[in-house]
Amino acid sequence: MLGKIASSVSQTVYRLGIWYSGYRLIISVSLLLIYMLTAEQLATNYDYPFLYFYTLVCYIALNIFQLFLLQVLPIQTSKQLIFIFLVDVICLSLITFSSGGPNLQLSLLYVIIIFSSAILLNAQLSLIITLFAVIMVVYQRFLGNFFDYNNLNHLGNSIFLAFLFFVVHSIGRIAVQRFKILETLTFHQSIEIHQLQNINRYILEQIEDGYLVLDESNHIVLTNPAANTLLGINVPVSQEKTPLIKWQPDLFELIKFSELEDGEEFTFESQQSPYTVNVRVKHLVVPEQPLFLLILKDAQKLNQQVQQLKLAALGQLSASIAHEIRNPLAAIVQANDLFKDSDAHQQEMLSKMIRKQAKRIDSIIQDTLGMARNKPTEPQIIHLEEFLASLLNEDLADAKDQIQLNLLEPVNILFDEKQLRQVMINLIRNALRHNAENAEFIQINVDLNNGRTRIDVVDFGTGVAKRDISQLFKPFFSTEIKGTGLGLYLSHTFCEANHAKLTYVEQQQGACFRIECSKIH
């Protein structure tokens, strides 16, 4: 990794060196042209015009040679750059000397040289160039007439300029450090992006579904092997977009004049592919570029998955029916056992109970089948006081003494009566099974909260473990060895079908299952 960073820095320095060499060539040519055009009018501005002229000519020749050498032999770039900066300082010093001493225009050229050396060279070499520039500026006047008042003024300007060189050098080194930090961060980010691209590509290659991304001009932006197989194409990996018409003209003809709606599905067949493809459209939100994702699936496999889901649903339905008819069957068996030793009046009551529970079994089967067929519920206004009294006397007569009902005022709700009966029986039977041995009863609490009715079925057992709470209403989840795990699942489903909500409420002792629905006035 360090080697890659060093190589990247070296390439950057080389490119900047080429740009700087081009800049110094332009500057030297410009200075020569200005001199040739203004030499007659401004002859008095030059102390040594011939030295000024020939220095510029040599400077241009050296610039051309060094630029050519840097491009043709891009080796030992740092050494070439040292030679370039030394030539710059020497030539610029001669130009300054021949034009009468440092001035604002030429001083700016010095500053650019110092700043460029601080960026393109290491700290030691750039400091050497800076010191060399300071020596050339200061001592070109210091060697003159020291006691001449004008020369003393020039010497003061030169000293100030030397101080400015050190300031520029320091700023340049700070800029270099910042640049190196940013380049390192950029390099690491590019590595991370490259790794993410590789991971994404690997994931796309492993997915069985085909993914084809198109732009608004129907050009292929991205595709995966599964999409290539389903469409009978082989789009090469390329940074450039590929026209869809080139690789899959049948699909292009199908979608070129149609507006692809988000979520739209259609079936596609092509002579290029033996597959019947199910296509689903998804709009992608990408800045400044609308894209369309086509999710491709083998229609035959899709049909097989649907059949497997139907079989699984059929098994679940059968298990749910068996679970739901256990309670009425238990009541029938109990009534049958009591029938022989009962008097005529009791036998009549037991016969009614048997008929009622038999009808309930039939109703459960019909309702469960109706749920599987998405049969709509038949909600009606239920008076909870009457409903709960009927429930306890008819469906839970054997456990009536173990149930405490707390209903402070008459409440009406909108619910399918048969489904609510099944839900309540499931919750109450569960509470009775899990109630503490020393507890006398379980509770059914009905109250109002913010205009909604809450029916709580509370026991005083050990409650539900925290790790199991998230699984409570999933099918086939049960903490009992003999449980099917369908009671709470069906109860939750019935509540949702009636726009109600069944939740588990944690408390310090025991369990509380709450049915929450709207109150009817």
Residue 302 identity: L
DSSP 235-284: PPP-SS-EEHHHH-HHHHHHHTTS---TT-EEEEE-TT-SSEEEEEEEEE
Structure tokens at 56: 């510029």
Terminal C-alpha separation, the chain: 74
Higher pLDDT among residues 431 and 308, named by residue? 431
Would you call 188 helix, strand, or coil by DSSP? helix
How do residues 438-496 score in pLDDT, each as one tens digit?
888 999 999 988 878 999 999 999 888 888 888 888 765 666 655 556 678 888 888 88
Structure tokens at 250: 């049948």
Confidence of residue 320 (pLDDT cuts 50, 70, 90): low
Higher pLDDT among residues 171 and 195, named by residue? 195
Handedness of CA 186, 187, 188, 189 (dihedral sign): positive
Structural domains of the chain sorted by starting position, each given as residue range(s) with its CATH number in brackets:
2-186 (no CATH), 208-299 (3.30.450.20), 377-520 (3.30.565.10)
Q: Where are the alpha helices (DSSP H) in 73-207?
A: 77-98, 104-120, 123-142, 149-206
At 310 the pLDDT is: 60
Report CA-CA distances (Å) from 94 to 65, 86, 88. Answer: 20, 12, 10
At 444 the pLDDT is: 93
How do residues 97-120 score in pLDDT, each as one tens digit?
777 666 656 767 777 777 777 777
Percent of the chain residues past pLDDT 90, beyond the cut: 9
Calculated CA dihedral for residues 205, 210, 216, 222, nearest 10 degrees: 10
Nearest to 113 by CA among 95, 79, 90: 90
The angle subtended at Cα 266 by Cα 262 and Cα 272, nearest 5°, is 120
Q: Are 205 and 237 in contact (CB under 8 A)?
A: no
pLDDT at 512 over 90: yes
pLDDT at 508 over 60: yes
Higher pLDDT among residues 508 and 373, named by residue? 508
Helix (H) / strand (E) containing 359: helix 344-372
Average pLDDT value for residue range 33-46: 74
Higher pLDDT among residues 165 and 428, named by residue? 428
Calculated CA dihedral for residues 104, 106, 109, 114, nearest 10 degrees: -80
pLDDT at 389 over 70: yes
At 150 the pLDDT is: 47
